[in-house]
Amino acid sequence: MTVFGFHASHEQIHPGKLLAAVIHAERAGFGAAMSSDHFSPWSARQGHSGFAWSWLGAALQATNLPFGVVNAPGQRYHPAIIAQAIGTLGAMYPGRFWAALGTGEASNEHITGDGWPRRDVRTARLRECVDVIRALLAGEEVSHDGLVRVDRAKLWTRPEQPPALIGAAVSVATARWCAEWADGLITVNAPVDHLRQMIDAYRDAGGRGPLHLQAHVSWAPDQAAAEAIAYDQWRSNVFAPPVCWDLEMAEHFDVVSQDVPLEKVTSTVNVSADLGRHVGWLEEYLALGFDQIALHHVGQEQRAFIDAFGAEVLPKLRTAAGSRR
């Protein structure tokens, strides 16, 4: 049955407050959690970007939830280091951790001082990183000379069962490509027809494992307040690739999003004061067959959202999910 989770957005919330939020989310009935992994926020208004891997250890210890993280190995992170991080959390919290791997964004990766590669090079680099991480988690000694370099690396602490490596995709073509290597697929909310095409492409290409969705929502008791939250916090996140991949600084996102209309934001975020409408939107995603849907309230204050969705939305979604079993 579909699990409904809480998305921990490090770009928007101080890690201490975010830890309190995920603890509260578990108590309110959320059944899982996932985490972003950024060096920079998407906007100066968001104002945070804690180190996800430190936070994940605390969050796994403080809750009983399964957790995932979306990571981009290859530039800011060496794949052997990511394999060690995945292996350690997998060993400490068996069966509770997964990692989604993607090609990343320049806003996080430019900090190394290396050039931001072309899209095709980034894709090839990710594929090399996946192979390195898998081999290390399998206990092999790895040396590799390619777009990433590894010299006689071996993980000495590993979980009995390697955590799943999930493919991150926002396009049909990338979903199809992920089927070559991934243990599952993760994407973000989009028009239902597009999501269906991505799922079909992944499965038709032999893609295995669970389907994950991160769903952006904005809720407040008043419609104007829900719209204001989404516009303030998420209007810098409405740009399609390659813009969102290639801009380097939070200030760049703020400049290009100055004149974004509210309608553009509400095409990316499900914005409503009506909890029933949120149920309807989420039931459409549920009907597509997602195994886990992580709810991301795009506001910086999470408690009211957690309480309202825990009491009024999640029970209805669980009933709907149960009827589809």
Cβ neighbours, 10 Å, residue 220: 21
Q: Is 322 exposed, middle or buried (0-12, 13-18, 19+ CB in 10 A)?
A: exposed
CB-CB contact of 218 with 271 (8 Å): yes
User: What's the first-to-final CA gap in the chain, in angstroms?
Assistant: 7
Provide CB contacts within 8 A for 29, sequence distance 6+.
310, 314, 315
In 41-148 the beta strands, taken as DSSP E runs, fall at 67-71, 97-101, 142-145
In 55-105 the beta strands, taken as DSSP E runs, fall at 67-71, 97-101
Rg (alpha carbons) of the chain, rounded to whole number: 19
Number of H helices and E strands in the chain, helices first, is: 14, 11
Residue type, 263: E
Query: Catalytic annotation on 105?
Result: yes
Query: Catalytic annotation on 284?
Result: no
- The pair of structure tokens assigned to 159 is 């979980």
The helix/strand/coil state of 150 is strand
Q: Is 45 exposed, middle or buried (0-12, 13-18, 19+ CB in 10 A)?
A: middle
Catalytic residue among 38, 110, 216, 278: 38
CA atoms within 13 A of residue 176's CA, in its CB half-sphere: 8
Catalytic residue among 7, 10, 26, 105: 105
Q: Which residues are catalytic?
A: 38, 105
